[in-house]
Amino acid sequence: MKTLQQAASQALAMMDLTSLNADDDAARIEALCRRTATDFGSPAAVCVYPAFIDAADRQLRELGLRDRVRIATVTNFPDGSVNAERAARETRAAVVAGADEVDVVFPYKALINGDTASGRALVSACREACGDQRLKVILETGELKRPELIRQAAEIALDAGADFLKTSTGKVATNATLEAAEILLTAIRDSGRDVGFKAAGGIRTSEEAQTYLALAERLMGTAWLTPEHFRFGASGLLDALLATLSGKAATPAGSDY
């Protein structure tokens, strides 16, 4: 098993450093991007609202990190509407604006009510709208609750072309859990597809990150654990990882979105 410092180093490289707050502005997003320049390497991406893609791009270029740190954004967020046309339009616009990755919310409420077609249609439309860029599908597992429903959502998203399965928006009461992570990882493994996993919401310590990494390694193998396959969506986690890597005590702070 990896030491805590080894896990922290790995987790840092797999982070989507995130700010999705109602009061975000360009200055806050620029500050977020500056946090990607650490003494221990950079996160995989920053995740911001579509309105701030340009600000993130400018700041990352000024830092000389644009070729190393991807820009992710969100669509159909956070409500998970069944409107596939609107979600695809938002996704296409985000890609045109410069997003490298789009995290789209699956219509989880429709699935809870027995509607399987809306999720398939929406993910498929957004997959097409994404073009060559990465599509991460947010399943909102804390709202789906039941293991069989989480698995069903995962299978629908996989069949419709998701590049990543993501647990949560960070905007509901229950976000990432190890139980949901295991269901999603197992669905990915069983599908045989080259699809990644993103744990988002509620992961704030190096120890918690280490636990998720150990789960993924057990289910998927050591070689699978790269930023191309595994991400943490968080904001407060970065400080905890940096504290671990520098040998200091950390006080978890901040929200995930």
Angstrom CA distances, 231 to 72, 90, 149, stand at 12, 23, 23
Of 57, 136, 163, 198, which is the active-site residue?
198
Of 57, 166, 171, 256, which is the active-site residue?
166
Q: Can you name the residues that pair with 135 across neighbouring β-strands?
A: 102
Of 103, 136, 163, 256, which is the active-site residue?
103
Q: Can you name the residues that pair with 166 across neighbouring β-strands?
A: 138, 198
Tell me which DSSP letter residue 76 carries: S
The answer to whether residue 2 is catalytic is no
Rounded to whole angstroms, how far apart are CA atoms 171 and 157? 20
Q: Give which of 58, 60, 26, 25 is closest to 46, Cα–Cα.
A: 60
The answer to whether residue 166 is catalytic is yes
Rounded to whole angstroms, how far apart are CA atoms 20 and 18? 6
Handedness of CA 175, 180, 181, 185 (dihedral sign): negative
Query: φ and ψ at 220, to 5 degrees?
Result: -115, -15
Largest Cα span, the chain: 50
Active-site positions read 103, 166, 198
